[in-house]
Structure 1
């Protein structure tokens, strides 16, 4: 048996699938699978009630760290993201310091077994990692940069960014915000790059389409996929559908679930709430819809999107996109090429562009073809090449 000479890469994250068929976002897993061809990848993520401490998911070793004495109480991170779960139950905020400490203790015990560490999200992974003398890459996704920028937290963010070996941002907008509001001294320019999250083009394709999947009346379908949270701007999409003769399908769940159902009922539109779905189910849902709508907005607490992975998934499935000009979205949605961009919070312009796409077959076909081509540029195989360059830089600088 040949020895495995690959360098060891530890990936830390707070959002990660709990199993192969979980509905949690899997972009970190998909990237790890591609990087595993060149590095021996392990993933370190928080525990959840009933979890295994060590398991393999799709060939990737997954280590779960504990942060409370009783596993049944470790409910901060799943299902969904940390901030929405705290909003759902304020008492969960008491778990946050223990999450930091749990991660720090686990890293203290195991990080020397790895050549390099890749920390996804500044909070808590990047901040905790920055206090260890070990080469690490920090990937910033959006809300971890733009939200919670007050006194101590902002200083901790600066400290983490300054001590990272290399930094990647999922959008140019995010990198510019960081340089203008957190690292004003230009101390991170030389080690920063923009690499978005992407799509597994083998999992998403127009070939998965099922005709009349949502309705039996041949009505066109507008699709939204994502968490039901303020920054997703779903209320503006529901309002816009009053003037769009199409069926709206909303896939996901979250703190605004009941509010959005009331809004859809009050609007009197044709609307279907499908709940959270696994990626196997999503492949059929995307391909069976007609247009993907991503109406993201800046939330009241400053939270924003980086570059939503649903856009690349939708495009790979053959969907033109109508989205807001927000965060990193313009990096993938080219206005008038593979979709349309409109201002945030404009239900009127969302309706106008949706109607334009759904009523013009020639334009729709052109956008659809361009969308599929764009998705190829965002495949994880292509993005992994860029991440390998960044990882190799971090390793070479540490020697």
Structure 2
């Protein structure tokens, strides 16, 4: 059996976790701070806040922005449900727009969707391939869009324009214009979930890059307090003798990351350049083999401005429907190779359909989805396993496509 995406756990990870256990301190403390520092060094921005999930981090940032009922946040329809649910939990309305052939949000569709109610754009780096950051950045800062902007909170008034947040759940390790993700938007949020390139079992990391007059270091402190119910001292600080007195300064959340979780990611990120290189080599091997077939659409990997984090390998098969794609997946799975689909477009999911969203308004998202199969890609995959995935995928695709051609 070749699993789809097992976590990378080696002796260094185990040692780091055991060290946390032996320390007698397993909730938020020094290892969380160290992980924040390591991620900050990796992306090249100083203010990184770790939380217990991408979703809770996104909810908190949208609440911090001051979303009210009726406020709109523009998102792509081709994403995991958390992108939309975070907006709803924060009190806003997700406005879904279609995507490009590279799976990422279409900037022209963003522009068409902006109204006086728009408070944020929440883009997604699908599979770790960066979205069109500069174009979105220029759009929200353009004079005609700023004229439309109607702030309803003090934070929005201070910013003076639509907030640009990156759903960077997949893209820790990606680059845009030779910089880590986070430099070309206001807020980026990485996921550190169990299947991500770097994991803390459950977790997320918020990269703070607000423009002046915001003080990002001060904002980090305020948001860190917000993750702890707006308590003025965390448990680690209170545990230092006689330092028990604290205050509650606002309506916060309880979404802090624990040291026991941070320990896993801390060990991994120290090895990440090597792990990332292995992901890249597998990605390139897949593409070099699949491009030999005229039915294959290989996923984007790099351009002059962008390089992926190689989080997923979303292969697409030309001119097939959902049923044929599902048949290919069944055949591959029967050979003990786990594959996946990323993602079911949001308007196809019952909850969002019931809210009135329609897949008919998202033709590119649907066309990407119906042809997509995500293949295993992670550092532990051996060369032999990679070759087996390639051979099996080719054989199963050819089997279904040959059957289709005979019936036409």
Assess same fold via TM > 0.5.
no
Structure with the greater alpha carbon radius of gyration: 2
* TM-score, length-scaled by structure 2: 0.28
- The structure in which a higher percent of residues are strand is 1
Higher RCO structure (Cα 8 Å, ≥6 apart)? 2
